[in-house]
Amino acid sequence: MPRPIKASIHTAALAHNLDVARRHAPNSKVWAVVKANAYGHGIENAYPGLRDADGFGLLDLDEAVRLRELGWAGPILLLEGFFKPEDLAIVDKYGLTTTVHSDEQLRMLETTRLTKPLNIQLKMNSGMNRLGFAPERFRAAWERARAISSVSQIVLMTHFSDADGERGIAHQMETFERGACDVPGERSLSNSAATLFHPAAHGAWVRPGIMLYGSSPKGLEVTAAQLDLQPTQTLEAELIGIQDVPAGGSVGYGSSFVAETPMRVGTVACGYADGYPRVAPTGTPILVDGVRTRTVGRVSMDMLSVDLTPVPQARVGTSVTLWGRGLCIDEVAASAGTLGYELMCAVARRVPIHAV
């Protein structure tokens, strides 16, 4: 008997959220970002819902190969590019598009013979200070890339640090325009937040990730529902035990929760080894039999506890929703002091995951 826990991936919701991205950026092509195993959904599970994208963006060569094996013949963008000269053989074999953000990558391209033309996205560091050429060196990097015989199309790329926040993108747009002012080529600038909130940055390509998975880049400030985004990952388990806890009784490790009055507490077959955040405190929202209630006490490795006061009908075997349909992942994330991104990516391998 498998443990009663599973993650369901909602194919129609993925397709819907991709449409929302298209609605916001109607004149742009969409790189659907499927890095980190499609934000924890599984490339194989996410692909059927996202196959109307113009291309897929990811990091790992093996994920790119899996997409090709699923039948995707269109563009695939390596968001961090390649790492070693030998990676270029796979880039070449599978016809991948690569980000080029460093002199080391340019050198590898200059010294490796490829069999087909290679499309690249040349990345500028416009202020985030992770990857990319400095703005004043961008033109020179472009000239150098253009001189490489295997390099075909060069798209100009950057990435925003604050598209979801108060600082916004103006300072980086200004830097980007300065560094790229006399460099021809399509632009690829926008993550989900810029796709949703900064139309001026759309360009020829947008690169939404998190919004495709039904989580808002602004968390609870502008909710997924307000953005018309639907949940794509529902994590469900069941009650595997029920305790009548007397007033003064404690629940779980460290006795961090003490019942003030007699109460029924349910034990759920989901813990931090399944990817549920251990830091989620008492009071984190959770659904039991579709009824909203709260977690109580510490999350343990394989189990967590819930207050059954509002769910008198609950029995062993009653279904529990940790997040997804009926409970936005961003609410659980906010309670745990993190983002929907981290929760959906963290679903553990021991949790069976299926597209529905």
Ligand X SMILES: *Cc1c(COP(=O)(O)O)cnc(C)c1O
**Tokens matching residue 292:** 């909203």
Nearer to ligand X, 205 or 257 (CB): 205
Nearer to ligand X, 51 or 159 (CB): 159
CA distance 291 to 286: 8
Shortest CB 150 distance to ligand X, Å: 23
* Residues with catalytic roles: 35, 253
* Candidates 45-53, 167-175, 201-209, 318-326; binding stretch for ligand X (CB under 6 A): 201-209
CA distance 125 to 245: 57
Residue with tokens 């059954």: 308
Residue 187 assigned to a binding site? no
- Asked if 331 and 224 count as a contact pair (C-beta separation under 8 A), the reply is no
Contacts of 299 (CB under 8 A, 6+ apart): 271, 272, 276, 277, 278, 279, 280
CA distances from 57 to 53, 77, 102, 294 (A): 10, 5, 19, 37
Residue 130 assigned to a binding site? yes
- The answer to whether residue 187 forms part of the interface with ligand X (CB under 6 A) is no
Shortest CB 192 distance to ligand X, Å: 3
Interface with ligand X (CB under 6 A), residue from 203, 208, 275, 277: 208
Site string for ligand X, 142-161 (x = CB under 6 A): -----------------x--
Residue 313 DSSP symbol: T
- The answer to whether residue 275 forms part of the interface with ligand X (CB under 6 A) is no
- Asked if 43 and 76 count as a contact pair (C-beta separation under 8 A), the reply is no
Interface with ligand X (CB under 6 A), residue from 217, 252, 271, 324: 217
The footprint of ligand X on residues 32-91 (CB under 6 A) is: 33, 35, 79
Q: How many residues bind ligand X (CB under 6 A)?
A: 11
CB atoms within 10 A of CB 175: 18
Residues near ligand X (CB under 6 A): 33, 35, 79, 159, 191-192, 207-210, 217
Annotated binding-site ranges for substrate: 130, 301
Annotated binding-site ranges: 130, 301
